Amino acid sequence: MNYRIFYIALCTFAIGCASLSAHAVAGDGVGILSERCASCHDMKGPAPTTLAALWQRKGPDLFYAGNKYRQAWVEAWLQNPKRIRPAGMFYISHIKPGEKRDMVDASTLSEHMKLNAADAKAVADALAEMKENSALLKAEKHDPSMAPGPLGEMMFDKFFGCMACHQIEPGFGGLSGPEVYTAGARLKPEFMLSYIRNPQAWDPKTWMPNKHVPDVSIQKMVNYMIELSKEDWDEAE
């Protein structure tokens, strides 16, 4: 009889262990990414090369996250996620005709999951290791000394028309692209340089056009975004 009880306990323990190994445990960043994030984010690449694939994308590609995001920002954001793309990942899936213009249909947008501090750190660590497209980043050299001055906003609004799709402050600018007033805190400077220089090198079908911005202007725009991101936008909102 005792042997039978021991056998049942052993089996229960074995099943428990198998179950644990099949699920991500707290602090296992790679496991969390695989189990909880991969249904919306591409972890392997390459980026979509057809419109049909582009339209299916539910969240930003993460296979080059380590080259794109500032790690500290990722860790903080995952604990308190706030929408970055006012009209969702692909705007056409989240708009409806309005009286004066097309409007965001908020009922179609969903909130990003929130992680506890330990899991957020583990995921941020794991994402920092995902570094596709490193050659693109290595080709860039950020020059923080190229201050944009008052031209920064002019470049965004008037010279290159970036505000058509991006908000440069809450409530001002276009909605089909991600907000840029937090980009400087969110993104690595070399990534911003590279993406503005050639968006299609990162994402061949993206609806961000290559405006062939001269290098000097790209440097100034990136520094402008870094300056913008130092404002307390939570307070402003």
Choosing from 3, 100, 150, 235, the residue that interacts with other proteins (CB under 8 A) is 100
4 binds other proteins per the rule CB under 8 A: no
102 binds other proteins per the rule CB under 8 A: yes
Piece of the chain touching other proteins by CB under 8 A; list 18-26, 35-43, 56-64, 164-172: 164-172
> Nearest-5° angle of CA 4, CA 10, CA 12?
105
- Strand 167-169 with 172-173, pairing: antiparallel
AA identity, residue 24: A
Spatial separation of the C-alpha atoms in residues 153 and 146, rounded to whole Å: 14
95 binds other proteins per the rule CB under 8 A: yes
Smaller CB separation from other proteins, 160 or 233: 160
Spatial separation of the C-alpha atoms in residues 206 and 61, rounded to whole Å: 12
Smaller CB separation from other proteins, 70 or 133: 133
**Site mask for other proteins (CB under 8 A), range 56-75, x = bound:** --------------------
Choosing from 159, 227, 234, 236, the residue that interacts with other proteins (CB under 8 A) is 159
**H-helix or E-strand spanning residue 22:** helix 2-22
Which string of DSSP letters, residue by residue, matches 194-206? HHHH-HHHH-TT-
> Nearest-5° angle of CA 86, CA 153, CA 95?
20
Q: Which residues bind other proteins (CB under 8 A)?
A: 49-51, 54-55, 87, 91-92, 95-98, 100-104, 157-161, 163-165, 172-176, 198, 200, 204-207, 209-212
